[in-house]
Amino acid sequence: MRIAIRRLVRNLVTMGQKASKSKSNYDYDHFPFFSDTDTIQTVKEAHTFFILRGLPGSGKSTFCTKFLATYPSSIACTVETAPVAERDESDGDWFAKVDEKIQQGLKDVKNIILVDDKHRSAQRLDYLAGLAKDNDYVVAVVTSVTKWEKPADSLERIIPYYFGWFLLRKSAQEMRRNAEDFLNLLTCNEVFSEEFKPNVEWHSEEEFNLQEYFQKKPSTLHCTTKFCNFGEAPGCESYACSEVVEQNYAKAFTLEVTALFVTPRTVGARVVLDKNQKLLWPREEASEGGRDSAEAELPLGSRSHITLACAPGIKAVQTGLDLLDILKLEKEGEKPEHQMEMEKGLLSCYGLGRWIVELTKPVEVKTLFSGFYPRKKLTTDLENN
Ligand code: A2P
């Protein structure tokens, strides 16, 4: 009898050890939003939509508990676990409760929304990312895994349209104000108007106005690191899987804007990266869409910029190319055609409507490093599969 009791006690102890061991099987410290003080503070100030993925048993519930403890003002939108056989992800009802809670979170202007609805389909992710985009939230897709797994082992990796640093709303507003001031000052500058106007087409009866001319303004501001085109751009797979991207995903960064520039096509802000930020800059010399030789001739990360506005018919990708063009002229020692001090700093013109002001006081912008997951392509992928 005593032996039986001892055995029972030993078994209970072993079971207890197993249970507590399995709890520590989830290692969340590699997520910067759990371990990095600056990121925790920044996430509290930002507007972020966390989409949690993971197989059953990967620790999503424990993740949610830890998340709510770190971010008590966030809203967690989760579904009760349902038997696998009953799940039909194309059935909207299954998600109705989660969706209600998300809508509530948006209505209450919660700045952190965590969604764990155990979705697997591209269509569902597509829907969630679309909601986040429409409401100006940064999206972070995070995968919960046990200690011995890598995210790629459990679920298919989702490659975004592009990776980059996404400006917090407050920083974006500040940058927009800076861009507006810059354009207003230039519009009033006679030397600028005389040089710039012959380089653009202006069909309006109204007097030329830069604000009117640069009508296309991005709704969210970001600094692209790697354009992936949903996995179709060369080198994007290895970039997405790289340790540096995995370690820095959803991490806070402060970027330094050192100059503003305008050309007949684009308005942009030049970003100068520090050595840690440069680690996230893709190393390959050529990729889709014009990473041309100009980039290779300049120091790594020279192209880093924030697109602030584009002329009609011009795509945002042009901003980086316009910046490289100006930097190349500077590097070659080209003498500016015009140069003058203005309120913001030294303004130089390199001809053909290319103007840049080096800011006397660089602007620091707060960002989160993440991916952009727009609606269209994910739906298309699903339909094609
Ligand atoms: P950026 O503004 O930093 O130049 P689109 O509006 O054409 O769909 O592109 C979305 C974003 O992706 C753009 O803002 C642009 O970023 C970036 N982008 C688009 N095409 C490329 C490309 N070929 N190479 C690098 N970045 C690109």
Query: Quick one: pLDDT at residue 153?
Result: 64
List pLDDT tens digits, range 36-95. Answer: 999 999 999 999 999 998 888 888 889 999 999 999 999 999 876 444 445 555 555 667
Of all protein residues, the one whose alpha carbon is nearest to atom 19 of ligand 1 is: 317
Task: Give the Å distances, CA to CA, from 31 to 54, 99, 252.
Answer: 15, 26, 11
pLDDT tops 70 at residue 375: no
Q: Can you tell me the mean pLDDT for 320-328?
A: 97
Ligand 1 center from residue 355 Cα (angstroms): 22
Q: What is the mean pLDDT of the chain?
A: 86
Residue with the smallest CA separation from ligand 1 atom 13 is 316
Q: 287 pLDDT band (50/70/90 cuts)?
A: very low
Going by alpha carbons, the residue nearest to atom 15 of ligand 1 is 317
Question: Which has the closest alpha carbon to 269: 227, 233, 217?
Answer: 217
Residue with tokens 């710039």: 196
In sequence order, what are the beta bridge partners of 346?
Answer: 341, 358
Percent of the chain at pLDDT > 90 equals: 67
The structure's pTM equals 0.89
Q: What is the pLDDT of residues 105-119, one digit of tens each?
A: 999 999 999 998 776
**Homologous superfamily (CATH) for 168-222+251-369:** 2',3'-cyclic nucleotide 3'-phosphodiesterase superfamily (3.90.1740.10)
**15 alpha carbon – ligand 1 mean position (Å):** 54
Q: Is 47 a catalytic residue?
A: no
Q: Say how far apart CA 299 and CA 227 lie, in whole Å.
A: 19
Structural tokens at position 310: 């584009």
Residues 256 and 174: beta-carbon distance below 8 Å = no
Give 327 Cα–ligand 1 centroid separation in angstroms. Answer: 19
Going by alpha carbons, the residue nearest to atom 6 of ligand 1 is 316
The residue ranges of every structural domain in the chain are 26-84+92-158, 168-222+251-369
What per-residue confidence (pLDDT) applies to 305?
98
Report how far apart, in Å, the C-alpha atoms of 227 and of each of 159, 218, 281, 288 are: 10, 16, 11, 8
Cα dist. 375→125, 230, 368 in Å?
9, 12, 20
Rounded to an integer, what distance in angstroms lies between the CA atom of residue 261 and that of residue 304? 13
Question: What pLDDT is stored for residue 358 in this prediction?
Answer: 98
Question: Is pLDDT at 23 greater than 90 in this prediction?
Answer: no
pLDDT value at position 93?
65
- CA of 234 relative to ligand 1 center, distance in Å: 15
Chain position carrying tokens 């960064």 = 253
As a whole number, mean pLDDT of residues 173-187 equals 96
Q: Above 80 in pLDDT, residue 380?
A: no
Q: Indicate which atom in ligand 1 lies nearest the CA of residue 161.
A: 12
> If pLDDT is split at 50, 70 and 90, which confidence band does 149 have?
confident
Task: Locate the ligand 1 atom nearest the alpha carbon of residue 233 and give its number.
Answer: 23
Indicate the residue type of 372.
Answer: F
| CB atoms closer than 10 angstroms to residue 231 | 15
pLDDT interval class at 196 (50, 70, 90): very high
pLDDT of 203 reads 83
Per-residue pLDDT for 285 more than 80? no
Mean pLDDT comparison of 69-73, 95-99, 216-220, highest-scoring range: 69-73
How close is the Cα of 130 to the center of ligand 1, in Å? 18
Q: Is 203 a catalytic residue?
A: no
- Which pLDDT score is estimated for 26? 81
Residue scoring higher pLDDT (193 or 23): 193
Predicted pLDDT of residue 295: 80
Given a cut of 80, whether residue 294 has pLDDT beyond it is no
Instruction: Provide the pLDDT for residue 377.
Output: 52
| Residue-wise pLDDT tens digits, 252-262 | 999 999 999 99
Q: 282: pLDDT confidence band, cut at 50, 70 and 90?
A: very high
Tokens 């609805």 appear where?
117
**Is the pLDDT assigned to residue 3 strictly greater than 60?**
no
- Which residue has its alpha carbon closest to ligand 1 atom 20? 317
Using a 6 Å CB cutoff, which residues line ligand 1? Answer: 162, 224, 227, 288-289, 307, 315-317, 319-320
User: What's 26-84+92-158's CATH class?
Assistant: alpha beta
**Residue 191 pLDDT exceeds 80:** yes
With a cut of 60, say whether residue 13 has pLDDT above it.
no
Q: Say if residues 260 and 322 touch (Cβ distance below 8 Å).
A: no
User: Which of residues 341 and 53 earns the better pLDDT score?
Assistant: 341
